Amino acid sequence: MQSQFVDTYNRKFYYLRLSVTDVCNFRCRYCLPDGYKRLSRDHFLSVDEIRRLIRAFSQAGCQKIRVTGGEPTLRSDFIDIISAIRQDARVKIVALTTNGYRMARDVKRWYDAGLTSINVSVDSLDVHQFYQITGQNKLKQIISGIDAAFDAGFKQIKVNAVLMRNINSASLPLFLAWIKDKPIQLRFIELMEIGKSKEFFRKYHLSGNEIKQQLIATGWCLKPKTLTDGPAQVFTHADYRGEIGLVMPYEQGFCSSCNRLRVSAQGKLHLCLFGERHIDLRDLLVNDGQINELQQRIRSSLTLKRETHFLHQSNSGMTQNLSIIGG
Ligand code: SAM
Ligand code: SF4
């Protein structure tokens, strides 16, 4: 193995989040309230470019790849992408973040191609509220997709719900009832102020700490983390088959355990979701012989990774919404 990717603060990178498209068919109010608009003429990374990129990361100790977007499953070669990542024996976890639109139809094929883990976004269990948040009347279809994922062989499904005050914040009991007998890890993500979303954030942001206190008071216990785990604090309870995760980017110390890097659908390395700049890798994804140079560029870029993000100062860097780079 090549030596591990490490930054100036001795953080090691075991986890790559790879966006494969910025196109999305949903209009989530906190992400793309006006729907998708094409920002760049550049085409998305091809399967061969993705394969080379993954090899460079896996040789340097990266064990988990998350495919994200936009909506990654809108790519017609999505299965080929999963298979290409899976073929790299050093990659232990191939995860997907999806809005679930294609799950009921395709999840068995994803499983057979080697996908090991799914995060599906479900911000509300109420059909009407789900439509109001996402602009899509697809809750039933997505819930069927989750059932289909269990039938296909996935042992646990992670569900992402962006926590919004007075929208879904009172639904904790409903969510808890849902996961009582299902192996679902329900993850509340604190709403982040990104790009021009100041007003929306001011109105709807709710600290995950409020949920955390309710969980602790009712017997939920914090679970220890492993090397490739994402940023969620995960809680378990003896009476529940499901788990609750909390992603709290505004909490002090959030960045100290950062173990992940990001690459955009156009092959730009982002050192932080909220960074000010990116590093283009695409010219080094042209042929297999460039791997050492590619790793060297990533390694030297890591010296630029800042200690923390600046979200507290309403600064989300160059990220205008999460569909561009994935959450
Ligand atoms: N389209 C897929 C989906 O929705 O799951 C993948 C991409 S989406 C950008 C990844 C995650 O980011 C989703 O769980 C979404 O809810 C979350 N997200 C997007 N904008 C956010 C914001 N402003 N604050 C918190 N989470 C956000
Ligand atoms: Fe699309 Fe995901 Fe953004 Fe919703 S959160 S608009 S599904 S990219």
Percent of the chain with pLDDT over 90: 80
Q: Are 66 and 96 in contact (CB under 8 A)?
A: yes
Residue 316 confidence (pLDDT): 60
Residue 323 confidence (pLDDT): 83
Instruction: Select, from the ranges 175-189, 192-206, 253-267, 298-312, the one with the highest average predicted confidence (pLDDT).
Output: 175-189
Residue 1 confidence (pLDDT): 61
Q: Among 37, 71, 97, which is best to mutate for testing ligand 2, by the most ligand atoms less than 8 A from CB?
A: 71
- Ligand 1: residues within 6 Å at CB? 24, 30-31, 68-69, 71, 97-99, 121, 160, 162, 189, 191-192, 194, 322-323, 326-327
Return mean pLDDT, the chain: 93
> How far is the C-alpha of 271 from the C-alpha of 269, rounded, in Å?
6
Residue 152 confidence (pLDDT): 98
Closest CA to 156 of 183, 177, 130: 183
Closest CA to 161 of 94, 111, 211: 211
What residue type is assigned to position 275 of the chain? Answer: G
- Triad 241, 243, 245: Cα angle to 5°: 175
- Residue with the bigger pLDDT between 319 and 25: it is 25
- Residue with the bigger pLDDT between 287 and 276: it is 287
pLDDT band at 241 (very low <50, low <70, confident <90, very high): very high
Burial 66-105 (b: 16+ CB within 10 A, else e): bbbbbbbbbbeebbbbbbbbbebeebeebbbbbbbbbbbe
Q: Where are the alpha helices (DSSP H) in the chain?
A: 47-59, 78-86, 103-113, 127-134, 139-152, 172-179, 198-204, 208-217, 291-301
Residue recorded with tokens 């992670």: 158
Instruction: Please state the rounded mean pLDDT for residues 80-87.
Output: 98
Which helix H or strand E contains 162, and what residues bound it? strand 157-163
Is residue 312 over pLDDT 90?
no
Instruction: Please state the rounded mean pLDDT for residues 49-71.
Output: 97
Predicted model pTM? 0.95
Is residue 247 over pLDDT 70?
yes
* Strands of the 184-190 sheet, one edge to the other: 221-222, 233-236, 243-247, 184-190, 157-163, 117-121, 93-98, 64-68, 15-19, 260-263, 268-270, 279-280
Is residue 281 over pLDDT 70?
yes
Cα dihedral sign, 204-210-214-216 = positive
Residue 111 confidence (pLDDT): 98
Instruction: Please state the rounded mean pLDDT for residues 120-147.
Output: 97
Q: How far is the CA of 214 from the centre of ligand 1 (A)?
A: 24
Residue 252 confidence (pLDDT): 82
Topology at the third CATH level for domain 15-313: TIM Barrel (3.20.20)
Residue 62 confidence (pLDDT): 95
Locate the ligand 1 atom nearest the alpha carbon of residue 71 and give its number: 1
Q: Tens digits of per-residue pLDDT, 23-43?
A: 999 999 999 999 998 877 789
Q: Among 121, 142, 163, which is best to mutate for testing ligand 2, by the most ligand atoms less than 8 A from CB?
A: 121
Q: Tens digits of per-residue pLDDT, 204-219?
A: 999 999 999 999 999 9
Residue recorded with tokens 């498209």: 21
Ligand 2 binding pocket includes 96 (Cβ within 6 Å):
no
